[in-house]
Amino acid sequence: MASTPKPASDVSTNGHHAATNGDSPKISERAPLEGLADSVGRATGDAVRATQGLAGKALGRAARSLAKRLQADLDDRDPDYIRENLPLSWLMATIWYRAEVRNLKNVPEEGPVLLVGNHTGGNMAPETIFFTLAFSTYFGVERRFHQLAHNLVLASPLGPFLRRFGTVAASHENALKALDAGAAVLVFPGGDWEVHRPSWQSSKIDFGGRRGFVRLALEKDVPIVPVVTIGGQETALWLDRGAWLAKLLRLDRTARLKVLPILIAPPWGLTVGDFLPRIPLPAKMTSDVLPAIHLREQFGEEPDIDEVYEHVTGVMQEALSGLAAERRYPVIG
């Protein structure tokens, strides 16, 4: 902030001086009530200025904290912290979601790789918890692994926790940085559009035409490893994405929110936005890691982005339909 507000302590000290220095005789010359009103007026003005100062400070601090949270400092990832928290992730994944991650052997043993997932389960996105657990136990916490998340997720109270797990704000630049560092990077091209799709579209890959991941993989010449997940859309009942509502409230421009979902979720019942902490239904969740796609080996030196996009989403759709066919009941799996 440009202005430097006067600290509250200074204000009260000045006020005290005003009552005890050379001005005080003037007050005593006036009528007692007039003097009192004067003092109250001065005190109120000081209090307002102090409040404005405090609010300004708080806002400034919040803005700086938010800006810091959204910067991609890859060094925020803390392998020891991840390791110490594996038991907590394991408990959530095993007991609550009965989660299963198949075929992690399809991820190349070393080097940068772009893991492309379908996003499920609303803002809680439970697949990120158990996939990070599975990746960390399979390859070890020593292997660098970053996940890209929406700004709002990182700005939430969970942000600092997620940053230590390797989560960075979703942007092309941050993904480039992570790949340059030799990391495995998990991206969800469908983002908020896909994660809030209606529950009856649970087995549908819907990236909303976002092709940035293909350009990213080509730019860094890294393999794409598709990861499909099912079950997240059964952790609540999503009725509508609410794209019309987000547009109406101009959230698409002000907060990069293309959707404002309408869902039924415990303990709130009908809720809009999926911003409040909720209790996810303990839906059985399954992820399958598909074979790596080496773009230039498969599509030539100058691959057509649309063709690659169609291929990746095609193989993911096929695998997701297979996982859906295995499920017999909602939530139970």
Binding site for another protein (CB under 8 A): 80, 83-88, 90-91, 93-95, 97-101, 104-105, 130, 133-134, 137-138, 140, 142
Pairing of strands 184-187, 262-265: unpaired
Instruction: Considering only CA atoms, give the Rg of the chain.
Output: 27
* Residue placing its CB nearer to another protein in the complex, 134 or 295: 134
3-state secondary structure of 113: strand
Extract the tokens encoding 115.
């893991």
Comparing CB distances to another protein, the nearer of 118 and 287 is 287
DSSP string, 59-109: HHHHHHHHHHHHS--GGG--HHHHHHHHHHHHHIIIIIS--EEE-GGGS-S
**Cβ proximity to another protein, 142 vs 310, nearer residue:** 142
Q: Please state the closest distance from residue 87 (CB atom) to another protein, in A.
A: 4
CA dist 106 → 179, 224, 225, 227, 230 (Å) = 18, 11, 8, 10, 18
Tell me the closest approach of the beta carbon of residue 184 to another protein, in angstroms: 16
- From 109, 179, 97, 96, select the one nearest 138 (Cα to Cα): 109
212: exposed, middle or buried (Cβ count in 10 Å: 0-12, 13-18, 19+): middle
Segments of 97-149 assigned E as strands: 100-102, 113-117, 145-149
Amino acid at 174: N
Nearer to another protein, 27 or 92 (CB): 92
Least separation in angstroms between CB 94 and another protein: 3
123 vs 132, which CB is nearer to another protein? Answer: 132
Write down the least CB distance from residue 81 to another protein, Å.
9
The minimum distance between CB 244 and another protein, in angstroms, equals 38
CB-wise, 88 or 248, nearer to another protein?
88
Q: Which is nearer to another protein, 98 or 220 (CB)?
A: 98
**Residue 137 CB, nearest distance to another protein (Å)?**
4
Question: Can you tell me the distance from the alpha carbon of 11 to that of 45, in angstroms, rounded to the nearest whole number?
Answer: 10
**Closest CB to another protein among residues 107, 205:** 107
Least distance (Å) between residue 101 CB and another protein: 7
Shortest separation between residue 277's beta carbon and another protein, angstroms: 19
What is the CB-side half-sphere exposure of residue 151 using CA atoms within 13 A?
11
Contact 286, 230 (CB under 8 A): yes
